[in-house]
């Protein structure tokens, strides 16, 4: 693809928008939303926003959660209908998911 003129901002992670669009059109985000319907009344981020933030972070080749604030925040905020999670939120999600839960029967 060759771009000769564009009114939109062009950034180093421009391919992220195409990847996000493909994932969204495949129905991945809607499936996550349907399967993880746990929502807190005053939660800032949905489960989809949390997983989407982490997924796009990894797809951009970043290695740690802190990179979302240092390298990707401006680019991720340009995606419509998406609330970018903070580093603290991503790390809290990782800790929650990696901690084994006891199931009482």
List, for residues 78-101, the tens digit of each pLDDT value. Answer: 888 888 888 888 888 778 777 776
> Residue 51 has which token pair?
């997983």
Q: What is the pLDDT at residue 26?
A: 95
Cα 2 vs. chain centroid, distance in angstroms?
A: 28
Other CB atoms within a 10 A radius of the CB of residue 80 amount to: 5
- Given a contact cutoff of 8 angstroms between Cβ atoms, the answer to whether 33 and 47 are in contact is yes
- Given a contact cutoff of 8 angstroms between Cβ atoms, the answer to whether 85 and 49 are in contact is yes
| Local structure of residue 43 (DSSP, 8 states) | -
pLDDT tens per residue across span 17-36: 888 889 999 999 899 888 87
- pTM for the complete prediction? 0.69
Q: What is the pLDDT at residue 27?
A: 94
């Amino acid at each position: 693809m060759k771009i000769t003129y564009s009114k939109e901002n062009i950034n180093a992670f421009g391919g992220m928008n195409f990847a996000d669009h493909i994932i969204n059109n495949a129905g991945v985000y809607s499936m996550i939303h349907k399967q993880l319907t746990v929502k807190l009344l005053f939660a800032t981020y949905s489960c989809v926003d949390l997983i989407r933030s982490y997924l796009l972070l990894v797809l951009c080749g970043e290695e740690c959660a802190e990179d979302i604030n240092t390298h990707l925040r401006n680019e991720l905020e340009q995606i419509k209908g998406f609330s970018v999670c903070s580093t603290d939120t991503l790390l809290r999600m990782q800790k929650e998911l990696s901690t084994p839960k006891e199931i009482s029967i």
